[in-house]
Amino acid sequence: MSIDSKRAFKLLEKIGFIRTSGSEEELRAAKILLEEISSIGCQGYMEDFKAPSSKITKATLKVVEPYEKEYEITPYNYSIGTPKGGITTDFVYIEDGHDANLVDIKGKFVLINKRPDLKLYKKLIEAGIAGYITMSGTAIDEEDKTDIAVSRVDKKYTQYGKIPAVNMRTKDCFDMVKNKTTKIKVEIIIEDIELTSQNVVVTLEGSKYPDEIISFGAHYDSVPFSTGVYDNGAGSVIIMELLRHFKENPPMRTLKFMWYGSEEVGLLGSKAYLKAHKEELKKHLLMINVDVAASVLGREMALVTAEENVVDYVGHMAKIKGLPLNVKQSIYSSDSTAFADKGIPSITFCRFAPKGGAFIHTRNDVLDFLSTEALEKTTIITKEFSESVINSVVFPFEKKIPDNMKKDLDKYFNKEPDKEDSDENKK
């Protein structure tokens, strides 16, 4: 049997360290993947690309009225700082940013319940706020057991301008609102920098239809504080297992296996690949992505950004094989979405944990909540599906993205700033 989930889990342990976009650790993980690829007898290579980031040298926030207390903050990447020495401004809690909350906020630092969407961001800039604060975590978090998430200002947002933006613990925000904070002093020193990140790529030439390409993708980077084994070391080792399988069982169509860097900071790896290989894309028929897997508790999902008949096919296949797979036509916040946006039908296979059953984007994304048995489930499903289409006599799907999915993609990539933006389907 070519699938060995114990072996895959061992590789997961090997890459289970924090590997953020453009870091030395991300590069180290890429090299481990390359070593594994050569041990399979394949030739892999790295493709570098630029990953914008921010260097923060100072970030402080202090309540000055009606009491004095300093709170920990984490500035958004690609946001801007305050003048040196900081600014002292009025503080106001604007809840979800309802229009009625936006009256008289000029020059003030505002606290919002969630990250502003593009529409609200524009309104905040136009209102002339001094900066904004968003929340990370819960009101009952323990400081020494949690971290403040690192967010970033989407490039699309900056067309309206840049302002200071920070994340704070929900617990501290709660404290500030409850104690009727009116004035704060903020100092942030931050600058834009450029790091280098990389994708790892392997090609297996098709025996019968070499000009028809199906690609497997998984991002191997993690967010800060997180060893990113559930998200997405697991997907990375699953497609490695599939590379082994197809190396032993040569495919009729050409396969590309891609481990994307810097997915967590805006799908940079897949976007870089798409940009660098425009000609090749004409041959791409389908992108198969694996992102989050191996949680002990969970359910198997296939999120299909393609026509209804693909959704039906995946669902039927799972039933015929007796695989408990939940299939849905949808976009997914991962590299598959970047491919679909370029007209390439895509499917993400994933294992979603029930709430609190496994964790992403925190220090709790650790091996303790994962198992070999669970890892195997997503591996088998992805293998069964991909094998059936890779070796089909006639490729069964049209290369087409339906209009409803196109609309969702436009919304996801903020192509229509005046339409309602939503966080649905975003992780």
Minimum distance of Zn ion from residue 358's CB (angstroms): 12
In angstroms, rounded to a whole number, what is the distance separating the alpha carbons of residues 52 and 21? 9
In Å, how far are 15, 45, 370 from 220, measured between CA atoms? 9, 15, 17
Instruction: Determine if 26 is a binding residue for Zn ion (CB under 5 A).
Output: no
Nearer to Zn ion, 168 or 234 (CB): 234
In angstroms, rounded to a whole number, what is the distance separating the alpha carbons of residues 335 and 251? 23
* φ, ψ for residue 50, nearest 5 deg: -80, 135
Please answer whether residues 29 and 18 qualify as being in contact, where contact means their C-beta atoms are separated by less than 8 angstroms. Answer: no
Total number of residues that touch Zn ion (CB under 5 A): 3
Nearest alpha-carbon partner for 251 in 217, 286, 212 = 212
Nearer to Zn ion, 80 or 287 (CB): 287
In Å, how far are 78, 111, 304 from 164, measured between CA atoms? 9, 12, 37
DSSP string, 180-228: T--EEEEEEEEEEEEEEEEEEEEEE--SSEEEEEEEEEEE----TT---
Q: Is the Cα dihedral 31, 36, 41, 43 positive or negative?
A: negative
Minimum distance of Zn ion from residue 351's CB (angstroms): 12
Instruction: Determine if 89 is a binding residue for Zn ion (CB under 5 A).
Output: no
Stretch that binds Zn ion, among 160-168, 286-294, 316-324, 381-389 (CB under 5 A): 286-294
Minimum distance of Zn ion from residue 427's CB (angstroms): 6
Instruction: Determine if 232 is a binding residue for Zn ion (CB under 5 A).
Output: yes
Nearer to Zn ion, 291 or 376 (CB): 291
Among 291, 300, 335, 365, binds Zn ion (CB under 5 A): 291
Question: Is the bond leading into 66 cis (omega within 30 degrees of zero)?
Answer: yes
In angstroms, rounded to a whole number, what is the distance separating the alpha carbons of residues 210 and 254? 5
Please answer whether residues 77 and 167 qualify as being in contact, where contact means their C-beta atoms are separated by less than 8 angstroms. Answer: no
Nearer to Zn ion, 108 or 271 (CB): 271
Nearer to Zn ion, 54 or 262 (CB): 262
Minimum distance of Zn ion from residue 278's CB (angstroms): 25
Among 26, 117, 147, 231, binds Zn ion (CB under 5 A): 231
Instruction: Determine if 365 is a binding residue for Zn ion (CB under 5 A).
Output: no
Nearer to Zn ion, 167 or 232 (CB): 232
Q: Tell me, residue by residue from 242 to 281, as one string, x for binding to Zn ion by CB under 5 A and - for no binding.
A: ----------------------------------------
Structure tokens at 309: 């008949």
Stretch that binds Zn ion, among 50-58, 135-143, 229-237, 417-425 (CB under 5 A): 229-237
Instruction: Determine if 187 is a binding residue for Zn ion (CB under 5 A).
Output: no
Binding positions for Zn ion, rule: CB under 5 A:
231-232, 291
